[in-house]
Homo-oligomer: A and B are copies of this chain.
């Protein structure tokens, strides 16, 4: 019997980190303000007191330096969880992530494993304007050598980290700051998630809605509303953005013969481009209609609420797009 508990996204993340620290001596958390401040988003609040300075390390503002140090520590046998406060500051560490974390294994002919986990808050939704609202999953998903995860649900927020820490290769975990205060139910007796696979969050037959991150709940809400008018959508949460779980995607679209891809990231050269291209290549003849994308408008995110909202697909946009694709009125 499935027991259910209510939990915020923040608490889910925190329990994940806490559990990781309890379960493995080699794990430590490092990042700006993770300790004394309690975490920029209060995810690590109390952990310094519980685990001490050796395990919860506040670092100076120096993203390239401390992410690189995390990579070095991983090479030398530790299991660091490096928190880059938000992806917006992640470009400062991009060279370390790409040219070192993603590349050392190959360059050394297989000798140097880099089992680092890098957590980054990301996404829009808090009126933080152009330099603090980026959705850069696509930039990281382009890079071979990285494993890129996206925690679009509370369950994944709770359990992804444990799996990520099992990886001998570098993992980037995207967490969504606009979801932190949202409470959802998650099953108590499910204690692991399969992060190598996309997850069908809702089974349906009329159309596949493929999404990740902030898109998951938006698409589920849209799907429920569409169900009430008789449209039966399937919602696929990608979860792992690199390497993509092509199998699950193609199976879904081969069944529904129609696909809409939804993401907050800027549209050009994005995850949704990639998925559309793969569907094209692999199952073109299964399609009853062109695959469409709803993605972020290509603008640095503006501060005012009405413009911010207009910058990314909203529930109604999804509903309308699906209706249109199904010629429903």
Contacts and interface: CB of A to CB of B under 8 A. Distances in A.
A270 interface: yes
A284 interface: yes
B91 A99 contact: yes
B281 A142 contact: no
Interface string A255-294: 0000000000010111111101101110011010111110
Nearest to A141: B269
A299 interface: yes
How many identical chains are in the complex?
Answer: 2
Contacts of A271: 269
A280 B276 contact: yes
Contact of A139 (B89, B142, B281): B142
A280 to B, nearest CB: 5
B290 A281 contact: yes
Contact of A91 (B94, B145, B300): B94
Contacts of A268: 141-142, 242, 244, 274
A317 interface: no
Contacts of A88: 99
Contact of A276 (B130, B139, B276): B276
Contacts of A277: 272-274, 276-277, 280, 291, 293
A139 B141 contact: no
Contacts of A266: 142-144
Contacts of A182: none
Contacts of A64: 92
Given A95-B91, A277-B276, A290 B298 contact: no
Interface stretch (A15-23, A43-51, A102-110, A210-218): A102-110
Contacts of A269: 138, 141-142, 269-271, 273-274
A280 B142 CA distance: 21
A98 to B, nearest CB: 6
A302 B106 contact: yes
A272 to B, nearest CB: 7
Interface in A223-256: 242, 244
Nearest to A302: B106
Interface string A7-32: 00000000000000000000000000
A131 interface: yes
A284 B290 contact: yes
Interface string A111-149: 000000000000000000111000000110111110000
A67 to B, nearest CB: 12
Interface string A84-96: 0000110110110
A302 B89 CA distance: 30
Q: Which 4 A-B pairs have the closest CB atoms?
A: A284-B290, A276-B277, A144-B298, A91-B95
Interface of A: 64, 88-89, 91-92, 94-95, 98-99, 102-103, 106-107, 129-131, 138-139, 141-145, 242, 244, 266, 268-274, 276-277, 279-281, 284-285, 287, 289-293, 298-300, 302
14 contacts: A91-B91, A91-B98, A94-B94, A94-B95, A107-B300, A139-B142, A141-B268, A142-B266, A272-B277, A276-B276, A276-B280, A277-B293, A279-B280, A284-B290
